[in-house]
Structure 1
Amino acid sequence: MSGRVAYIAASLDGFIAAEDGSVAWLEAFQATDYGYADFFGGIGMLVMGRATYDQVLRFGPCPYAGKPCLVLSRRGIAHPPAGVEAWKGDLASLAAHLRAAKERVWVVGGGQLIAGLLAEGAITELDLFVMPVLLGRGIPLFAGVHPPAQQLTLLDTQTWPNGVVRLRYAIAAATPAKA
């Protein structure tokens, strides 16, 4: 199955990280299985922004080993793990590259990349885990570029006793935003 999915957790007030980029607030929810292994098993390639990549590396060895990973980074990556490659092109060329991909692509984050790829019409699905916490401030889910108004189609919902809600939406084929 192909497609480009933004699979991400956000606080109820719409933040994916604290102001300093920390996602430590998610640790309170780690004891529950939200189906990550099944999701990751269906992914053929990952794409993420440089700040997200740097954050992931702080967790320890690259958790995405064995899958190709593009990191949007103008400055490149020193000593990348196997399968990790810096994408030095612009967002429009990345969007075109992802649209041509035959495998399912996970747009890991961050908020600027997700918003930019939405604006380019390059994300086909939003798989959002709404966490029952209010951060008050931080890095928003859709940061920087404002994607065009788009109609989403609800595909599925799921809830857990700890208050986590999963909302899975299809995004209609969008045309890239005009500058």
Structure 2
Amino acid sequence: MTVRVAYIATSLDGFIAAEDGSVAWLEAFQATDYGYGEFFAGIGTLVMGRATYDQVLHSGAWPYAGKRCLVLSRRGIAHAPEGVEAWKGDLASLAAHLAALPERVWVVGGGKLIAGLLAEGALTELDLFVMPALLGRGVPLFAGGHPPPGRLNLLDTQTWPNGVVRLRYAVAEATPTKL
């Protein structure tokens, strides 16, 4: 079975980015190694929403060189970095495509995509890094502030002295629901 994981940092109050899409609030936590290099080395394909793609692209050099990246975008992508493709289909067709891939898939974000793929039954893991920060407002981890209903099985926890907590869950088999 292909592992399809949402691997993402969230503030304690459930936001993955500031209102403008910025993740600059995470800079305070960058001095610690949370195992990203090992995680990234095991990924074959990345998936992200268009707003996340635009935010990453405008943050500097493309950080996912050498990996295939699908970006949900109805309008296509001009001048995309090597390996980046626009996915113009719906979430159901994306879910089926991802399930057929032989490699590990990382759903980078954003919240609308994560919630949508959860609703389609397309995520197998949630790997959440809860950061000791309260943003108050911003882009929620799950679109609309509420994930679709479902059961999770805790796989692992990890803590760091700076207050970061990693919660890794398996998404239990469930009948897909529509948002």
TM-score range, shorter chain: over 0.9
Structure-1 residue corresponding to 2:30: 30
Q: CA deviation at 1:145?
A: 8.8
1:58-86 CA distance string (max 9 Å, x none) = 22121101010000000100011111000
1:160 aligns with 2:160: yes
Q: Which amino acid aligns with 1:135?
A: L
1:98 aligns with 2:93: no
* Compared CA separation, residues 59 and 178, structure 1 to 2 (3 A): closer
1:102-144 CA distance string (max 9 Å, x none) = 1100000000000000000000000000000000011100014
Structure-2 residue corresponding to 1:80: 80
Percent of residue pairs identical: 83
Q: Which amino acid aligns with 2:169?
A: Y
* Compared CA separation, residues 16 and 101, structure 1 to 2 (3 A): same
Q: Which runs of 5+ in 2 are unaligned?
A: none
Structure-2 residue corresponding to 1:133: 133
* Compared CA separation, residues 144 and 101, structure 1 to 2 (3 A): farther
Q: Which runs of 5+ in 1 are unaligned?
A: none
Q: CA deviation at 1:28?
A: 0.3
Q: CA deviation at 1:38?
A: 0.3
User: Which residues of 2 match residues 136-147 of structure 1 at below 5 A?
Assistant: 136-144=136-144, 147=147
Contact 1:116/1:146 (<8 A) preserved: no
State the alpha-carbon separation in 2 of the partners of residues 76 and 121 from structure 1: 26
Structure-1 residue corresponding to 2:150: 150
Q: Secondary structure at the match of 2:143?
A: coil
Contact 1:119/1:146 (<8 A) preserved: no
State the alpha-carbon separation in 2 of the partners of residues 148 and 28 from structure 1: 31
Contact 2:157/2:168 (<8 A) preserved: yes
State the alpha-carbon separation in 2 of the partners of residues 146 and 86 from structure 1: 27
State the alpha-carbon separation in 2 of the partners of residues 53 and 156 from structure 1: 29
Q: CA deviation at 1:173?
A: 2.0
Q: Which amino acid aligns with 2:25?
A: W
TM-score, structure 1 normalization: 0.96
TM-score, structure 2 normalization: 0.96
State the alpha-carbon separation in 2 of the partners of residues 144 and 64 from structure 1: 28
Q: How many residues are aligned here?
A: 179
Contact 1:121/1:174 (<8 A) preserved: yes
Q: Which amino acid aligns with 2:102?
A: K
1:66 aligns with 2:66: yes
Q: CA deviation at 1:2?
A: 2.9
1:18-68 CA distance string (max 9 Å, x none) = 111111100000010000000001101000000000111122121101010
Contact 1:132/1:164 (<8 A) preserved: yes
Contact 2:4/2:125 (<8 A) preserved: yes
